[in-house]
Structure 1
């Protein structure tokens, strides 16, 4: 039983990536796809090791991660706060929610020309775009999480004489947490997507800058490596979010250990 669980949780998720890696190696080494179109995996690995030795890759990843998570904290924090406020207060909902929904229906990447005109091409423009991207998933899920709490639970809390602060920490927040964490997982994907676009539009450092340099010099191995790093960082972020779900929602039947 333990071996089956180990295979299911740790081995099975890597079956498809390994299959794709082997397929990539075969089609490029056999000449089915030319090196100018798609580089061989070993060439990409060699580029990875070279950039690690020079320290460039560490600098690029550090700059991109700093941008991504700073924007996530700003936009996610605002989304969480407003989602909770509007979820708890019908007055606040009537005042703010309609305006937020109107802005939500504007694709945030369509605002790039306006953001560049307002903030230039420096760091503030990238942070604004990332913040806009992550704001709405967390806002909607926080709002939905609070509004979907069973009213009998809050009524029971009042019966046990819980004050507003205790009711929030012991009933409302735990009840809305599963929905909030879904918003966090979704917004992490939006965060990396927005970062990719923001860095390829205008950047002087970061993974997107590395990819644009690779394009200028026709270095397919650098471009593919940039894409793979973005994919790895996205997967790593999602793994951390899933760990948060398992750790913080142990009481929830859907997240209980087998």
Structure 2
């Protein structure tokens, strides 16, 4: 009896693992939705409390048909991206400044460590006082939320560079600029990208809070109107849109990490 080649066994094993992984990723959410629908049909869950998936899907279709959802997503993403761009940029610069220079750590680290213990939600009344109830306050909430994950990961990544690499660079006579550009920044890049990923997720969480501040547009505006009209189906549909935006954002960040770090190994305990 001839045994199949080892490469063929490996390919078959990988296909089975891929099929199992995709099956679980798709099957488990589908089973949850099915159980939810069945419990609603049987009356175990009151539709006034938690509408079934079919009703929520109809609400989504209604929002899409009106064009309200598409315009709201554009507005909400614009707020989140603006806040992430400013807040993440500030966190990146502060993390590099504190990580690369001792004087930077002495200037920046202590104030930011104190400020990060303040929940960004607690700053909303202050932002309203400063910026009013318009777009400024909403973006400021997102900025305040997205600074610290970027700062902490950037700072930790820069300070976590192996000392042996720095010693080798000094032996080869690298200047401080070349040391930072060729050694420290590439080594800290994984931590920086993790910080970007965390900041993007926090920015979306802050967006949900920010859009409750007298929103006149965006997904939050849809939710406020639905709450006033007691439309639980539209409220849950809006929440699911927020969740979908979070998933898409995370996938984009994963793709950026994969492109920027092709050398990083990928493994998991099966």
TM-score category, normalised to shorter length? over 0.9
1:126 maps to what in 2?
138
Comparing 148-157 and 72-81, the one that deviates more:
148-157
Partner of 1:235: 247
Q: What is the rounded CA distance, in whole Å, between the counterparts of 1:155 and 1:202 in structure 2?
A: 56
Map of 1:183 onto structure 2? 195
Aligned to 1:222: 234
SS, match of residue 26 in structure 1: helix
Structure 2 gaps of 5+ residues are: 1-12
What is the SS of the residue equivalent to 1:200? coil
Describe how 1:24-173 pairs up with structure 2 within 5 A.
Answer: 24-173=36-185
Answering whether residue 27 of structure 2 is matched by residue 18 of structure 1, we say no
Mean alpha-carbon deviation: is it higher for 103-112 or for 166-175?
166-175
Q: TM-score, normalised by structure 2?
A: 0.89
List per-residue Cα deviations over 1:22-59 (Å, max 9, x = no partner): 12111112211111111121111112122212211100
Instruction: Write the distance in 1 (CA, Å) between the matches of 2:138 and 2:100.
Output: 32
The answer to whether the Cα contact below 8 Å between 2:139 and 2:210 also exists between their aligned partners in 1 is: no
How many residues are aligned here?
256
Of residues 170-179 and 103-112 in structure 1, the stretch that sits farther from structure 2 once superposed is 170-179
Note the residue ranges of structure 1 that are not aligned, 5 or more in a row: none
Deviation at 1:155, TM superposition (A): 2.2
What is the root-mean-square deviation in Å for CA atoms of aligned residues? 1.7
